[in-house]
Chains A and B, each alone.
Chain A
Amino acid sequence: MTPALLCTNLRAQLGGVDVLRGIDLALPAGRWTAVVGPNGAGKTTLLKALSQLTPHSGRVEVLGRETRELGARQRARSIAWLGQNEGGAADLLARDVVMLGRIPHQDWLGPATASDREAVQAAMQRTQCWQWRDRPLGQLSGGERQRVLLARALAVGAPVLLMDEPLANLDPPHQADWLAIVRAHVEAGGTAVSVLHEVTMALHADEMVLMDAGRVVHQGACANAATHRALEDVFNQRIAVREVDGQRVALPVHPGSAPR
């Protein structure tokens, strides 16, 4: 099966420092992959390089086609991006923000079509923010704002959804809702890749990619014990993966002690 995203010898620098050091990775289509690792591991840069949003060397393919050969519009229709702490747009109404997700589908100066409006409404209803569609983004709380921004990414209707820290500002109930939204996207045949610091949430994914110091140190199913051990290793045994009520959770480990 063709992977959703494939990269070969992917390298990137930030400020002259190597951030990605030759990454070879195949992310399966129709699955949710969580990218996890300590701060500075290169997770965000990896996602940006996969979406062609940062300078890099190496080859990247999306759904079997090299991304550099795709036009900007075609690439935008294939990969939806939700960035970390997207700022600004405080004076735009929530529905106008979500409508921005339709840019790859719209003519240069043409008005929004009925299908654009339907996609916007559907995305906002999925993230439960349709009720404040006429409120400016700047007047929403952090969590409300994050749901609008997720709707903006969903409104693109791209088969591949890349998200960098999408749970920032979301309270636990809305984190659970986010899980359901991602799961629905994957069950509909889409692919999701998310950088997550919430390790317990990341363990709900199908696959996990572990990064450290600009390299991928492990890739495997979240259900695998080998992935759990690798996860504990990448955080220097400062977390422990345990099963509680049929769910995997990551518990903090204080130096010199072990979780019960």
Chain B
Amino acid sequence: MKPANAATLFFALLAISVALLLVGSAVGSEGWEPLWSHLWTHADDAQAAAILWGIRVPRSVGAWLAGALLGISGAIAQGVFRNPLADPYLLGSASGAAFGVAICLVVLGLAPMDALGWTSRGVLTISGFAGAMAAVLVTLVLAQGVQHTLRLLLSGVIVGMVFGALAALVMFWQPDIMRTMQAFLLGTTGFLGWDAVALLAIALVVTTVVGIGSSRALDALALGESTAASLGVALTPVRIVLVVAIALATGAAVAQVGLIAFIGLVAPHLMRTLAKPTHRWLLPLSALAGGVLLLAADVLARWLLAPREMPVGVLTAVIGGGYLIRLMHRRPM
């Protein structure tokens, strides 16, 4: 198959994103109910406007942004660790972020997520970032570097389990946070508001700028550490900056939508399969693909069983797991 043009793919994903945002704002608790047509004729309907602008639009935009963060952090992780399976989830950083969030909820004694304001969400994001950073570092120490795929994966699984257990322990001690944490562990976009959207957007801009700024180094790393160093790439500073960017992206996403599996793994793989791009294109493409995947999953999660809602993390886990199995059979790990 001839690789697709990266620019064409970029604009196609952008168009799909806009279409999905429209669909997302048209799906409510009763399924398909496009309020914009109602508001067109009844502009003074404050309740409809509040549902549209206060709930559905920020939720859809936030879901897209969280997916984009997971997609781009997966692409960076796979590049910097030279490992096709290095996604934020499998490196343990997502569980680390969840643990950070759990600690924060207990320390601050926060109420359920939908009542949070700007400051609390900011603190929650910082906690998620710190937890993600700690988990990635522990994974790397246990794996003694990034060279051995199996060791890295096993370390990621172990760290993920331990941090997950620690988060469960926090819940056990403080049952008050049980409801919020349960939603977190299943992955949900139900708590997203405009403040969360703003935080996610800031994290996405920072991650994208850092990622694209390091794109040549990531390309060079694909040929191995020695070759990258021989081309003048300063490996240690680049790695530190990129690991911080991965932790920021994962921490921000997990703090707002909880544990969403496989988006960070699937989005970059799909883009590489379709377009064979360099990292300058792969990173924005993975962000767009991650946004499209999570928003599509979110719309389906709201729509399929309406008026009941499926946790979106369950849906992405099922779809992503299937993709991973397919991947496993197609290329050696």
Contacts and interface: CB of A to CB of B under 8 A. Distances in A.
Interface of A: 48, 51-53, 71-73, 75-77, 79-81, 83, 86-89, 91-93, 96-97, 100-101, 103-104, 106, 108-109, 134, 136, 149, 152, 156
Contacts of A79: 230
Given A103-B220, A149-B223, 9 more contacts: A75-B232, A77-B232, A79-B230, A81-B226, A83-B230, A87-B224, A88-B221, A88-B222, A100-B219
B106 interface: no
B272 interface: yes
A92 B231 contact: no
Contacts of B182: none
A108 B212 CA distance: 11
Nearest to B279: A92
A100 B276 contact: no
Contact of A103 (B212, B222, B224, B233): B233
A106 B224 contact: no
A123 to B, nearest CB: 14
Contacts of A152: 223
A100 B232 contact: no
Interface string B244-282: 000000000000000000000000000010001010000
A91 B82 CA distance: 12
Contacts of B212: 109
B267 to A, nearest CB: 14
Interface centre among B213, B219, B231, B234, by most chain A C-beta atoms within 10 angstroms, is B231
Given A83-B224, A92-B278, A93-B276, A76 B219 contact: no
Contacts of A89: 219, 222-223
B216 A103 contact: yes
A103 B276 contact: no
B3 interface: yes
Contacts of B232: 71-73, 75-77, 103-104
B229 interface: yes
11 contacts: A76-B231, A77-B232, A88-B223, A91-B272, A93-B3, A96-B278, A100-B231, A101-B231, A103-B216, A106-B216, A109-B212
B144 interface: no
Nearest to B271: A91
B197 to A, nearest CB: 28
Contacts of A100: 216, 219-220, 223, 227, 231
User: Which applies to chain A's interface (DSSP): helix, strand, loop or mixed?
Assistant: mixed
Interface in B186-217: 212-213, 216
Interface of B: 3, 82, 212-213, 216, 219-224, 226-227, 229-234, 272, 276, 278
Contacts of B220: 100, 103
A87 B83 CA distance: 11
Given A93-B3, A100-B220, A103-B220, A88 B229 contact: no
Contacts of A93: 3, 276
Contact of A86 (B3, B227, B229): B227
A73 B230 CA distance: 9
A92 B276 contact: yes
Nearest to B215: A109
Contact of A92 (B219, B226, B230): B219
A70 to B, nearest CB: 10
Contacts of B82: 88
A54 B216 CA distance: 22
A72 B227 contact: no
A91 B276 contact: yes
Contacts of A136: 3, 276
A91 B276 CA distance: 5
A77 B230 CA distance: 9
Contact of B231 (A48, A87, A91, A103): A103
B208 to A, nearest CB: 13
A72 B223 contact: no
A45 to B, nearest CB: 11
Given A72-B232, A81-B227, A103-B231, A92 B222 contact: yes
User: What are the 5 tightest A-B residue pairs by CB atom distance, in nearest-first order?
Assistant: A76-B232, A81-B230, A89-B222, A72-B232, A91-B272
A178 to B, nearest CB: 18
B205 to A, nearest CB: 16
